[in-house]
A and B are shown apart, each in its own frame.
Chain A
Amino acid sequence: MIIGKISRISGPVVHARGMEGIKIRDLVRVGELGLVGEVIEVKGDYVAIQVYEETDGLQVGEPVKSDGKPFLAELGPGLLGMIYDGIQRPLEAIRDQTGSFIARGATGDPLDRTKRWHFVPTARRGEHVSHGDVIGWVQETPAIQHRILVPEGVSGKIVTIAEGDYTLDEPVAELDTGQQLFMKQLWPIRRPRPIVQKIAAGVPLITGQRIFDVFFPVAKGGSAIVPGPFGSGKTVTQQALAKWSDADIVVYIGCGERGNEMTEVLTEFPHLEDPRTGQPLMHRTVLIANTSNMPVAARETSIYTGITIAEYYRDMGYDVALMADSTSRWAEALREISGRLEEMPGEEGYPPYLASRIAEFYERAGRVICLGRDKRSGSVTVIGAVSPPGGDFSEPVTQNSLRIAGAFWGLDARLAYSRHFPAINWLTSYSLYLDALQDWYTQNAGPDFLEMRRELLEILQKEEELKKIVQLVGRESLSEPDKLLLDIARTIRDDFLRQNAFHEIDAYCPLKKQYYMMKAILMFYKACQDMLSQISYEEIRKLPGWEHLSKMRYTPNDQTESFFPKFIEELSAVSQEAVA
């Protein structure tokens, strides 16, 4: 135990003296209240500590204690369905201790120590196991088997292992080396969990959101950023992804965002069903909530706590999606702490190491071969919201994230103003995963899926060019095929890309339905183009098909197969009638 004394207090940064032997990133307890903090600078005879709680009332001379270990995340069964703050304190336990408002110095075990989990061994006596091997599992929630892994630095022959009900403090197995294996393990959050190797991504994260699945998919194990000015729908987008994407596990980090938004997640998720398993969404979700009024240093940590939990489930062989809302708040926390340390600022006051920190974080995403003999694979997909000041994408956090992320989903204030949600700009956004995902789409979504995608984008691209002409000479002076193109572009925008996150059916659109919707639009467009030579543009405008297209997204998802083939057939039949 290292014990020193406070020598200076300035906001969340506290200096302490007499801490010989302390290392950077070691966890400390500050003052009589035992506020949690982390060493961020060792300088001369003092150390600088970032404190994760408010420092009001601290005095010079109060003790600072440390056992010389870094901040460790606690990993094991019971994580799913939990809501933690940035330093993995369980917020529900804290409520029971200190009431509705979070008091300082509150502590709680991240995982329930009294609960007994039914452990089923898969490894046998006499088997040699080492880091990353699966020794058994626990049914953590109805849909998720929590695999128990051998932690780092442990290896040997199993001497005892038995099925039964254990708490997290009781060993489930023992090795010939005398080491005991528990269901829980600890991990320093700032160090990526080791893997065998990263492998190429080839499967998309299907989100049920048309703009992403069709236009700008992200691969499982990839990373995407969602930058946008305030009010453009970052959080609604992140929440829709957390709800509907086909990951096994979702880690949602509310980093410096609104309290009411976290409450929304907490209120809704237990009632929403995972479209794949039919289980409540909370059963596959871990929430990290460090709202904007909670201490700034813990906000900086919340990102690492979250990704460590994500990696842990990845190591079991699961596909994990991590949403960080918003990474800008994390970057600002870095800036704030850096300012208190009086470091030389880089661009816009951010510390010069901003770029490397962002890169380190996003690089913890990936599709990997996990440690362990069975060569299982798992993935972590990272989706980071970015809140650029004034909506200006040239600022450092957006630019540094862009360099790393494989998909860019640019939110657009103008779209948001006209209530076109999700307000993703289809002309500026991109995905670098399309080539890698090509085979998957061709095999699983339909051989003509990507071809139709290309046609839709082409129409929208042409629309943009035509709009410029319209602004100069007016719409009436366009040729009829061009007018028709503008109409169909509007249908694509309004009836396909626009998706209502609050509508019970439209909130989630299965891939098959997306396919049929594209097909219906393109088929109708083709039919209208053919008709132009026979009937007038005005008559084409009056076809009932336009209205039918605008309502097709409300078709119940389970009727996709029974409805759409017929719908498309009728659409073309009606069009032929009009000509006759």
Chain B
Amino acid sequence: MSAALYAKAHRTITEIKGPLVFLQSVPGVRYGERVTLVDSAGNKKSGQVLEVGEHAIVVQVFEGSDGLDKKGTTVFFSGDVVKLGLSEDMLGRVLDGSGNPRDGLGEIFPEVERPITGSPLNPVCRQQPFEYIETGISAIDLMNTLVKGQKLPIFTGAGLPANRVAVQIARQVIRQSKEELIVVFAGMGITSREYNYFYKEFQDSGALANSVLFLNLADDPTIERILTPRLALTTAEYFAFDKGRDVLVILTDMLNYANALREISSAREEIPGRRGYPGYLYTDLATNYERAGIIQGQKGSVTQLPIVTMPNDDITHPVIDLTGYITEGQIILSRELDRKGFYPPINPLPSLSRLMNLGIGKGKTREDHRQVQDQLYALYAQGKELEKLTAIIGSAGLGETERKIVRFVERFESEFINQGEIPRTIRESLELAWDLLSEIPRTELRRVEDKYIDQYWRGARP
């Protein structure tokens, strides 16, 4: 964020609590206004007005309130809401969670400044997404296709390789688009190990030149995490809608973001909703996630790939749950597949891409894509049930067809899902799918029309 001239200085702090500073009211302060606090040692911190009244003002301090005191701290009101300076020079840069350079390469001179909260996109101006993004991962491309303008989160558990999957996707989509696409990466509360991993991966693969990284580390101030995704999305909107680029935004980890929100809420003594999260968690998450899409008659798109950790692998956790209600599907990583040593351990059953239909089919992927996906799902779901059954009664209780379906599940997991880091084109994924389906008797393929079976199925004909 660029420096500004501060007109009003105040020393009227009455109370400091957690990340919040309470001041006596001063006239002319705006709701949502950006604030700078200077402590008695001369250290600067930034904050935002959370509440204005006739008697008191509440300010949240992004860098945390450590070192602030009632008497020696001066508060400057900037007269304006929190803004981010934007320019094309941001490409290839690494910034911190407040938007300041972290790579030591100097200041970025902004071309424009924008409020980081953004405005809602008018639903009548949205362009319905229509184009798929090839990630090179069969479990996504074929089973849960990612579409430009979509928001598709990855739900992961502690220790599962979500970051590796995210980086792999970032690399692949940049390469696939012939560097037309840019990645904006926001890390909230990531560890220094993860930081090194991301930085190295982005640099080594050459993806960094087409990326902007906003990184708030685990030991950086928690409250800063409230800003980080908004900075990333403001940057993404700038590149997409000012510069006409396709932008993929990776937000990791939105759980840390939500926890920062909870911290502020509890410091404000608000009535908590589920598990202590504030009642407005849905609205707040939505103001971030909804900043994805395409505008009619304009080039450029914002696609979001947020990563959210499921605490204790619990998919009903409020942050996961609300994310699932806002986003357009979800990719879920499975501990079971990971334990078997499969990578990427994407569990197709609970995963879903709601916009898939818009991006696939004739002229886009292939005409049989929808039905093949449907069939794979049905067989995999049925096979998983049979696996459970086999565990109880043994495979002797199964019929011949059922044994074939169990065999299908094994191959599906070990070959189709477990593809490693080597990307597959959508055609290669479809070919492999038909190879698996060809072991299933034709009469069991109820979800595929005859014409596609005739064309692609290679099993023994009766």
Contact = CB atoms under 8 A, between A and B. Distances in A.
A70 interface: no
Interface string B301-312: 000000000000
A196 interface: no
Contacts of A91: 122-124
B449 to A, nearest CB: 8
Closest 6 CB pairs of A and B: A474-B397, A390-B316, A292-B286, A418-B381, A293-B290, A56-B32
Interface of B: 25, 27-33, 50-54, 81, 115, 117-129, 149-150, 241, 270-274, 278-280, 282-283, 286-287, 289-291, 293, 295-296, 298, 315-316, 318, 321-322, 324-326, 328-330, 349-350, 352, 354-355, 357, 370, 374, 377-378, 381-382, 389, 392-394, 396-399, 402, 443, 446, 449
Given A10-B51, A335-B273, A262 B31 contact: no
B149 to A, nearest CB: 7
Contact of A54 (B27, B117, B318, B446): B117
Contacts, number: 221
Contacts of A229: 324
27 contacts: A7-B53, A9-B31, A10-B51, A54-B119, A55-B31, A57-B31, A59-B28, A59-B31, A60-B54, A91-B124, A100-B122, A100-B241, A101-B122, A101-B125, A254-B123, A260-B126, A262-B126, A292-B289, A293-B289, A293-B291, A332-B279, A339-B271, A349-B272, A389-B318, A390-B321, A471-B389, A473-B393
A502 to B, nearest CB: 6
A293 B378 contact: no
Contact of A102 (B29, B119, B355, B394): B119
A9 B51 contact: yes
Contacts of A547: 443
A424 B179 CA distance: 44
A83 interface: yes
B235 to A, nearest CB: 16
A77 B278 CA distance: 43
Interface centre among B50, B122, B282, B321 (most CB of A within 10 A): B122
A265 B270 CA distance: 37
A71 to B, nearest CB: 20
Given A102-B122, A417-B349, A336 B283 contact: yes
Given A335-B279, A339-B270, A547-B443, A83 B123 contact: yes
A472 interface: yes
B122 A230 contact: no
A18 interface: no
Contacts of B378: 418-419
A391 interface: yes
Given A57-B81, A345-B271, A9 B128 contact: no
A550 interface: yes
A332 B322 CA distance: 12
Contacts of B29: 59-60
B31 A56 contact: yes
B352 A231 contact: yes
Contacts of A292: 282-283, 286-287, 289-290, 326
B316 A95 contact: no
B239 to A, nearest CB: 16
Contact of B446 (A98, A293, A471, A550): A550
Contacts of B117: 54, 56
Contacts of A477: 397
Nearest to B268: A10
B150 A470 contact: no
Contacts of A476: 396-399
Nearest to A417: B349
A399 B105 CA distance: 57
A259 B127 CA distance: 10
Nearest to B277: A349
Given A59-B28, A333-B283, A471-B389, 13 more contacts: A8-B54, A60-B25, A99-B125, A101-B120, A229-B324, A259-B120, A260-B328, A293-B289, A339-B280, A349-B279, A417-B350, A418-B349, A502-B370
Interface in A332-349: 332-333, 335-336, 339, 342, 345, 348-349
Contacts of B381: 417-419
Contacts of A561: none
Contacts of A494: 446
Nearest to A83: B124
